[in-house]
A and B are shown apart, each in its own frame.
Chain A
Amino acid sequence: MADIPAQDARGVYLFTAFERFWHWVQAVLIIFLLTTGFEIHGFYSLLGFERALNLHIFAAFSLLVLWAFAIFWHFVTGQWRHYVPSTDRMWATMLFYATGIFFGAPHPFRPSVRRKHNPMQALVYLIFKVAMAPAIWISGLILWVYGKFPALYPDDLPVLWVNGIHVATAFLIAAFLISHLYLITTGETLTSQLRAMITGWDRHGESEPD
Chain B
Amino acid sequence: MAGNWAGVWLRRTILALGLTAAATAPAVSQSAAATGGTETAALLSALAVPPSTADHSKFEELAGPFSDAAEVNQACLGCHNTGPEQLHGTVHFEWTWPPAPVRNMEAPGAELLAFFGALSTEDAEPSGMRHVANGFLLSTPSNLDACTSCHIAGTRFDDPAMFDASSEPVAPVDCLSCHEPTGQWTRANFHEGGAACSMCHDERLRGDTPEVEDLVAAAQSVGPSTLASCGSCHFQADGGPGVKHGDLNPDLINPPVALDVHMAAAPDGAGFTCSTCHTTTEHAISGSRYAGGPGDGPDRPALAGAAASCQGCHSATPHEDLASGARLDRHIDRVACETCHIPSIARGETQTRVLWDWSSVGKRGRDRKPMVQKDEDGRITYATEKGNLVAAGDVKPTLIWSNGRLAMHRPGEPLAEGSDPGESETEDLADLAMIEAAFAGTPWIASFEGDPTDEDSRIAPVKVMHSVVPVDAEDRRLAAVKFSGRSGDALWNRFDWEKAIDAGMEAANTPFSGDVAFARVRQMIPVNHMVAPASEALACQSCHVSDGLLANLPGGYLPGRDGYSWLDRAGLALLAAVLAGVILHGVLRLGFGFFNGRGRHG
Contact = CB atoms under 8 A, between A and B. Distances in A.
B421 interface: no
A179 B581 CA distance: 9
A49 B598 contact: no
Contact of A49 (B540, B570, B574, B600): B540
Q: How large is the interface on B (under 10, 10 to 19, 20 to 34, 35 or more residues)?
A: 35 or more
Given A102-B596, A104-B598, A179 B544 contact: no
A103 B600 CA distance: 9
A167 B560 contact: no
Chain B at the A interface: mostly helix, strand, loop or mixed?
Answer: helix
Given A102-B588, A188-B600, 15 more contacts: A41-B563, A42-B545, A102-B591, A104-B597, A104-B599, A150-B333, A159-B557, A164-B564, A167-B571, A168-B567, A171-B575, A175-B575, A175-B578, A182-B582, A188-B599
A149 B285 CA distance: 38
B571 A168 contact: yes
B559 interface: yes
Interface of B: 323-324, 326-327, 330, 333, 539-541, 544-546, 557, 559-564, 567-568, 570-572, 574-575, 578-579, 581-582, 585-586, 588-589, 591-592, 596-601
A115 interface: no
24 contacts: A42-B545, A45-B541, A49-B560, A50-B541, A102-B589, A103-B592, A104-B600, A107-B601, A148-B330, A150-B333, A163-B557, A163-B563, A164-B563, A164-B564, A167-B563, A167-B571, A171-B570, A171-B571, A171-B574, A172-B574, A178-B575, A178-B582, A179-B581, A182-B586
A40 interface: yes
Interface in A150-178: 150, 159-160, 163-164, 167-168, 170-172, 174-175, 178
A176 to B, nearest CB: 9
B284 to A, nearest CB: 37
A106 interface: yes
B563 A174 contact: no
Interface string A89-116: 0000000010001111111001000000
B544 A42 contact: yes
Given A50-B324, A150-B330, A168-B571, A160 B597 contact: no
Contacts of B581: 179
A94 to B, nearest CB: 13
Contacts of B563: 41-42, 160, 163-164, 167
Nearest to B588: A102
Contact of A107 (B324, B546, B588, B600): B600
Contact of B545 (A49, A54, A188): A49
A48 B539 contact: yes
A85 B101 CA distance: 80
A167 B570 CA distance: 11
A164 B570 CA distance: 12
Contacts of A49: 539-541, 544-545, 560
